A and B are shown apart, each in its own frame.
Chain A
Amino acid sequence: MAFRSAVITFPGSNCDRDMAVALEKVSGQPCTRVWHGDSDLPEGLDFIALPGGFSYGDYLRCGAIASRSPVMQAVIAAAERGVPVLGVCNGFQVLTESGLLPGALLRNATIRFVCRDVTLTVENATSLFTSGYEAGQEITIPVAHHDGNYFADAATLDRLEGEGQVAFRYKEDINGSARSIAGVLNARGNVLGMMPHPERAIEATHGGTDGRALFESAIKALVGA
Chain B
Amino acid sequence: MKVRVHVSLKPGVLDPQGRAIHHSLEGLGFAGVNDVRAGRLFELDVEDSVSDEALSDMCEKLLANMVIENYRIEKVAS
Contact = CB atoms under 8 A, between A and B. Distances in A.
B41 to A, nearest CB: 13
Interface string A73-113: 00000000000000000000000110000111011111100
Contacts of A110: 16
Range class of the A interface residue count: 10 to 19
Contacts of B63: 60
B16 A107 contact: yes
A159 interface: no
A151 B17 contact: no
Contact of B14 (A60, A96, A103, A149): A149
Contacts of A109: 14, 16
A61 interface: yes
Given A96-B67, A151-B68, A107 B17 contact: yes
B75 to A, nearest CB: 22
A116 interface: no
A68 B57 CA distance: 14
A12 interface: no
A152 interface: yes
Among the interface residues A96, A106, A111, A149, which one has the most CB atoms of the partner chain B within 10 A? Answer: A106
A1 to B, nearest CB: 39
Contacts of B17: 107, 111
B53 to A, nearest CB: 19
A139 interface: no
B65 interface: yes
Interface string A40-72: 000000000000000000001100100010000
Contact of A97 (B13, B16, B20, B65): B65
Contacts, number: 36
Consensus secondary structure, chain A interface? loop
Interface string B50-78: 00000000000111010110000000000
Contacts of A151: 13-14, 67-68
A40 B42 CA distance: 32
B65 A104 contact: yes
Given A60-B62, A103-B67, A149-B16, 7 more contacts: A60-B63, A64-B62, A64-B65, A68-B61, A108-B16, A111-B20, A151-B14
Interface of B: 13-14, 16-17, 20, 61-63, 65, 67-68
25 contacts: A64-B65, A68-B61, A68-B62, A96-B67, A97-B65, A102-B67, A103-B67, A104-B65, A104-B67, A104-B68, A106-B14, A106-B16, A107-B16, A109-B14, A109-B16, A110-B16, A111-B16, A111-B20, A149-B14, A149-B16, A151-B13, A151-B67, A152-B67, A176-B14, A176-B16
